[in-house]
Amino acid sequence: MATDPADADTIERSLEIAGERGGDLTAVVYARLFERQPQMRELFWRDTTDAIKGEMLMRVFDAILDFIRERRFAHHLIQTEVVTHAGYDVPPEVFATFFGLVAEVVEELNGSDWSPAMAQAWRRTLADLDRYVANPDQAAV
């Protein structure tokens, strides 16, 4: 099931606005993650410059952009990341919260520009993403 092109345009626009207003979103996204999942903080003990967190977040954005367009690899990447993160003691239920958390930050940065269309596009896309997070078995999905 591909993302509706209108939803894809809307999500891209919301990301552009967030990028323009928030700059590098690494600090705000991970601060929120650690606030809600404090046990995740110690996994990043080496990351004193935020380089690891920054690249992970960039990969999340790359995956979202591929997912809403061509879907060349993002859906499969998400499924495999659930598996590899479990190896780092990141349970699937924690992994599952990350896309929603990114969407929250994007919404806040959009402020008064956040539209009902954006809310709907993100809601549909998050539900679609969740399908892959919840079902890492590629043979089944």
Partner 1 sequence: MNIAVKVQAAETAAEIAATPLEKLNPAKVDRFYNDTIWPVFERLRREDPVHFTPESEYGPYWSVTRWNDIMAVDTNHEAFSSADGIGLANLAAVAEQEKVMGERRRGGAGFITMDEPEHGPARKAVSPTLAPGNLQTMAPQVRERAGEILDSLPIGREFDWVDLVSKELTAMTLATLFDFPFEQRRKLPWWSDMIMNMPGHGPVESWQQKGEAMFECFNAFHELWNQRVNAEPANDLISMLAHNPATRDMPMETYQGNVVLLIVGGNDTTRNTISGSVYALNKNPDQYAKLRANPDLILPMVSETIRYQTPLAHMSRVATRDVELGGKTIKKGERVVMWYISGNRDEEMVERPNEFIIDRERPRQHMSFGFGIHRCVGNRVAEMQLTIIWEEILKRFPEIKVVGKPTLNWSAFVHGYESLPVVIPYRT
* Residue ranges in contact with partner 1 by CB under 8 A: 42-46, 49, 51-52, 54-55, 58, 72-73, 76-77, 79-80, 83-84, 86-89, 137-139
111: left (phi over 0), alpha (psi -120 to 50) or beta: left
Closest separation in Å from C-beta 42 to partner 1: 6
Q: Cβ distance 104 to 62 under 8 Å?
A: no
CA end-to-end distance (rounded Å), the chain: 11
Nearer to partner 1 by Cβ, of 20 and 70: the residue is 70
What residue type is assigned to position 136 of the chain? P
Instruction: List all residues 6 or more positions away from 115 whose beta carbon is below 8 Å from its beta carbon.
Output: 10
Nearer to partner 1 by Cβ, of 1 and 42: the residue is 42
Closest separation in Å from C-beta 127 to partner 1: 21
Closest separation in Å from C-beta 60 to partner 1: 13
